[in-house]
Amino acid sequence: MSKHVREGDATDGADRGPVADPPPLRLDGVTKQYEGGGGTVTALNDVDFTVERGEVTAVMGPSGSGKSTMLNMLGLLDDPTTGSVELLGEPVAGLSAAERTDVRRERVGFVFQDFHLIPTLSAVENVRLPTRFLDDDYTERAVDLLTRVGLGDRLQHTPDELSGGQKQRVAIARSLINEPDVLLADEPTGNLDRDTGEAVLAEINVIAAGGVGVVAVTHDDLVGEYADRTVELVDGVLRG
């Protein structure tokens, strides 16, 4: 599944026109169960969910509702007990661990509540980090992304020289370095005050407008205000 071949270029017969692009990610009847000391725990129960290009979806629900498990499924970090995870219309069950790593690097960007920046690296170096094993030099793209998120004057600053909102913007820029189809955000405003959170969410909306499908897993009602669609996950069941 090469990134060099973009979807929608082929046609399905001369008179039928272009084939519609499949969604970047889809959960089809996904159930995830874990065996614990108290018996079987169902973290996700028959979940159908589609990530659409250009759309911000907020997944909300209480702690223990299955949000993290759902994020792991979308990020190809775990396999369902039943059901399937589809990437660009194709099941990912047959991919090896190495292939999944490649797909995540090329197709999926991650933004975490705790930023996960390397404290000894500058903003530019942190943004370039996912490309460290690639042949091309991504410095120019890293600078461009940081400039786009308003950090053009903080390129050489290390994380301890940045505010919480600036750190989150570095994390967003890093998630976009490989031009992903999907951005998965885990509590993107969790460590931010309201004003900074609004600024970060506005930037996420700009990213989605460029054709990236965004899924934000959150407790924060503010995220829902900026989302195009909000769904609720309760006891592993998806509603909305």
> Tens of pLDDT along 92-104?
988 888 999 888 8
Confidence of residue 15 (pLDDT cuts 50, 70, 90): low
Give the pTM.
0.85
pLDDT in tens, 118-143: 999 999 999 999 998 888 899 999 99
Kindly report the length of the chain: 240
Residue 183 has pLDDT above 60, yes or no: yes
Residue ranges of domains in the chain: 51-77+96-239
Mean pLDDT, to the nearest integer, of 80-107?
A: 91
Residue 12 has pLDDT above 80, yes or no: no
Q: φ, ψ for residue 6 (rounded to 5)?
A: -85, 145
Q: What pLDDT score does 221 carry?
A: 93
Taking CB atoms within 8 Å and a gap of at least 24, the contacts of 3-6 are 3/106, 3/107
Residue 204 has pLDDT above 70, yes or no: yes
Q: Lay out the sheet containing 213-218: strands in order across.
A: 108-111, 182-186, 213-218, 56-60, 229-234, 237-239
Structure-derived torsion over alpha carbons of residues 36, 41, 47, 50, reported in degrees to the nearest 10: -40
Which CATH code of 3.40.50.300, 3.40.50.2300, 3.40.50.410, 3.40.50.970 fits the domain covering 51-77+96-239?
3.40.50.300
